[in-house]
Amino acid sequence: MSVKYSLLTLLNEQPRSAKRLQTDLDAEMHGFFALNIGQVSQTLSRLVREGLARTTTSVSEATGRDVEVYELTASGRDELNLWWDGTVTQPGAARDELVIKFALAARRQENVDKLLDAQRFATLADIRELTRATRSLPEERTAERLNIERQIFELEAVMRWLDRVEALQPPKEA
């Protein structure tokens, strides 16, 4: 899902061509979240089909050929706002959506603050729920207990990481 929302975030700032989106996202993520042009184009086609983006006037690039420029629709802006307001469940993937979300949120401190608060609240709620579940389990190495306790430790690590994110300085302007 992060490809979709990464492109929507950049389109929310200004209309861009597929190549410009690819280049800007790569620069923003410092190679952490590199996409090939096919991935960008496919995602843009899907965004247009879903009514979240539309093509606008073509611009002539240095190569002399016309290029489609994409812009966010009102529905796209609403979808993006829902994503910003939501929390991220940890999929354990190499492209961690929470890392990407914070990297993109770093553009505006109020985004970071809001995201930190929401993510902390959701993570603490998950820890409480899992801790309650362990109370009825025997103190034995059963798969159920091990799984629940592993999840608790992972969530506690997320809480420590959120503290570190808050302590880090925002990126310097390019």
Q: Is the pLDDT of residue 174 over 50?
A: no
Q: Is the pLDDT of residue 30 over 50?
A: yes
Give me the CATH topology for the region 2-85.
Arc Repressor Mutant, subunit A (1.10.10)
For 46-88, what is each residue's pLDDT tens digit? 999 999 999 987 766 667 778 899 999 999 999 999 999 999 7
Q: Give pTM, 2 decimals.
A: 0.60
What local confidence, expressed as pLDDT, does residue 32 receive? 60
Q: How confident is the model at residue 173 (pLDDT cuts 50, 70, 90)?
A: confident
19-45 core/surface letters (b: 16 or more CB in 10 A; e: else): ebbbebbeebbeeebebeeeebbebbe
Query: Distance between CA 91 and CA 88 in Å, rounded?
Result: 9
Q: Where do the domains of the chain lie? A: 2-85, 97-167
Average pLDDT over residues 117-140: 95
